[in-house]
Amino acid sequence: MHRETVYYDSREFPKWGRFYAAASEKGLCLLALPGGKAEAFLEKVIRRFSPHLLIQHSAFFADFFRQLGQYLQGSAVEWRCPLDLEGTPFQLQVWEAVKAIPYGETRTYGEIARALGRPGSARAVGRANHDNPLPIVIPCHRVIGAKGALVGFGGGLALKENLLNLERKK
């Protein structure tokens, strides 16, 4: 997945940590949750997008990080930033279904699979969530196990629980 130019920046949010974001000319294409290092994020950007130019550009992300800050303070946010997503047709379907989960609510992997007309594909839904390049924006933390268990989140189960608790406070 080649991109001519990729912009990136990061922002520290008290109580949460540092988030890293990358965007192409088309829109936001990668968000890294707290816990990682800048070097690892940049290596992932280069490996994933093979950009000719990689530019740190804070102003490019000002609105996105403002919205992320509002979300992390407990506000339901309608993300206004354009997205530049690439994935398989099934992944794109899953991510659209996950984006439709309302703030403060959860769905199981099986419920999403059934909603997509693919009952029995709960594991494939889980795999698509695992490959989600934009956690929080595509709120895969709202997807839970069949019996309500918190399972499978790239940022760790503690972060998943914190995000769900944040949303439930509203």
Q: What is the domain class of 89-168 according to CATH?
A: mainly alpha
pLDDT, averaged across the chain = 93
Tell me: pLDDT of 167 over 70.
Answer: yes
Residue 151: how many other CB atoms lie within 10 Å: 15
CA angle in degrees (0–180, nearest 5) for 15-77-145: 75
Which of 31, 45, 122, 140 does the annotation list as catalytic?
140
Tell me: pLDDT of 3 over 80.
Answer: no
140 catalytic, yes or no?
yes
pLDDT value at residue 71: 98
Q: Please, which pLDDT band fits residue 170 given cuts at 50, 70 and 90?
A: low
Q: Where are the domains of the chain?
A: 5-72, 89-168
Average pLDDT (89-102) is 98
pLDDT tens, residue by residue, 25-78: 899 999 999 988 899 999 999 988 888 888 988 788 999 999 999 999 999 999
CATH architecture of 5-72: 2-Layer Sandwich (3.30)
Q: Please, which pLDDT band fits residue 123 given cuts at 50, 70 and 90?
A: very high
Let me know if the fold of 5-72 is the same as that of 89-168: no
Rounded CA separation 166/140 (Å): 15
